[in-house]
């Protein structure tokens, strides 16, 4: 009887211990919350805790890879994402398309390998659309609309690789035909997709077909221009940044500024948005000066002052945030030098000058009254 009681006590202690352990779901939610707060080190610790208890937990593996990627542990991240793909032991079947997408991003020096990963992701996403079994670890609540958007995003990424001047692929005789086919598939998947329209605009520009490029960009903007800040139609800031670039390349400045206004409403500390607004006003000032005509009821001097204000703010934010884009900072400095040579000073200087005159006027008044 004594031995039985000892066994029961141990069993009871084990039962209590198991109850005290947090659930895998709660651990994963905690890890996700730290990723949202950009605390990747803590998120990684929680992901590791999950994998210690459940080594085949797909979502935790993916989250671990994301934290490694964000912390610059690129080789570890590559290994983690590879563990989600066959022939790795315990790799889910089918694998999550996201594993291929992250690995494609890690193939900056090998566009062919990146394209292979993107093609694999396209195959998995097509399978999901056809009703095949969803990959283990994928969000079961993900709608068909989300899958279509993800599929288009992959197709757009493939077009961008084919078009990138940093790779030799853009000189391939089949590059243009391949891009046309990829974009055709994208629009068959999601006819009014904003990212696909922006990509089409860029592609038409590369083909020197500006009217079609403008039409695609305008259609992309029309899809969400009346959306409120909390509207799901509003694209991510980076997508709106890309649309702004297309409008500027097309010398279509008014819609570029309107898109930038929407970005500023979402995040008025975005360095690239301030740079693009300054660049846009600079080009408008040049145009107004050359033609001798106002643009949007503004003289070239007024446009140039607006440009100077935006570029000065961009430079301040770039330094404060330790922004990694050095080329953007270099071009900002070049534009400011050109504005200086045109006699366009910082607004702060003008305000100080005006303040000085006001002080002088007030002192004169005092003298006359005494």
89-147 tens-digit pLDDT? 889 989 999 999 999 999 989 999 999 999 999 999 999 988 744 444 455 556 888 99
- Specify the CATH superfamily of domain 23-92: Tetratricopeptide repeat domain (1.25.40.10)
Rounded Cα–Cα distance for residues 316 and 336 (Å): 13
Which of 5-14, 125-134, 144-153, 351-360 has the highest average model confidence (pLDDT)? 144-153
pLDDT in tens, 205-248: 999 999 999 999 999 999 999 999 889 899 999 999 999 999 99
Closest CA to 44 of 72, 22, 85, 17: 72
- Give the single-character DSSP code of 229: T
Q: Nearest 5°: phi and psi at 168? A: -80, -10
pLDDT tens per residue, range 331-344 = 999 999 999 999 99
- How far apart, in whole angstroms, are the C-alpha atoms of residue 242 and residue 357? 44
What is the Cα–Cα distance from 334 to 283, expressed in whole angstroms? Answer: 14
Contacts of 104 (CB under 8 A, 6+ apart): 113, 114, 115, 117, 118, 121, 157
Q: Quickly state the pLDDT bin for 20 (edges 50, 70, 90).
A: confident
**3-state SS, one letter per residue, for 145-156:** HHHHHHHHHHHH
Residue 359 CB-density burial (10 A; 0-12 exposed, 13-18 middle, 19+ buried): exposed
Tell me the domain boundaries of the chain.
23-92, 94-132+146-208, 255-370
């Amino acid at each position: 009887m004594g031995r039985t009681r000892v066994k029961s006590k141990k069993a009871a202690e084990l039962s209590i211990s198991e109850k005290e352990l947090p659930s895998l779901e709660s651990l994963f939610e905690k890890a996700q919350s730290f990723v949202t707060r950009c605390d990747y080190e803590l998120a990684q610790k929680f992901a590791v805790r999950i994998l210690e208890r459940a080594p085949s937990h797909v979502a935790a593996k993916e989250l671990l890879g994301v934290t490694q990627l964000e912390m610059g542990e690129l080789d570890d991240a590559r290994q983690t994402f590879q563990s989600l793909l066959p022939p790795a032991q315990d790799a889910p079947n089918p694998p999550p398309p996201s594993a291929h997408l992250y690995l494609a991003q890690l193939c900056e020096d090998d566009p062919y390998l990146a394209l292979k990963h993107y093609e694999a992701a396209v195959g998995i996403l097509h399978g999901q659309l056809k009703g095949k079994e969803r990959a283990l670890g994928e969000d079961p609540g993900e709608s068909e609309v989300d899958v279509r958007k993800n599929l288009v995003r992959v197709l757009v990424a493939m077009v961008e690789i084919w078009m990138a001047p940093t790779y030799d692929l853009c000189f391939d005789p089949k590059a243009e035909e391949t891009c046309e086919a990829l974009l055709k598939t994208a629009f068959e998947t999601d006819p009014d997709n904003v990212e696909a329209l922006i990509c089409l605009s860029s592609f038409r520009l590369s083909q020197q077909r500006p009217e079609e490029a403008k039409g695609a960009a305008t259609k992309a903007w029309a899809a969400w221009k009346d959306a409120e800040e909390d509207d799901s139609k509003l694209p991510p800031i980076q997508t709106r940044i890309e649309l702004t670039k297309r409008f500027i390349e097309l010398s279509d400045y008014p819609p570029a500024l309107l898109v930038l206004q929407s970005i500023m409403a979402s995040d008025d500390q975005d360095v690239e948005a301030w740079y693009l607004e300054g660049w846009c006003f600079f080009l408008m000032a040049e145009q107004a000066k050359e033609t001798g005509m106002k643009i949007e009821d503004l003289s070239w001097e007024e446009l140039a002052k607006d440009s100077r204000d935006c570029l000065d703010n961009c430079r301040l934010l770039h330094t404060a945030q330790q922004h990694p884009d050095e080329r953007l900072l270099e071009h900002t400095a070049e534009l400011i030098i050109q504005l200086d040579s045109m006699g366009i000073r910082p607004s702060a200087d003008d305000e100080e000058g005006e303040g000085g005159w006001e002080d002088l006027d007030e002192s004169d008044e005092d003298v006359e009254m005494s």
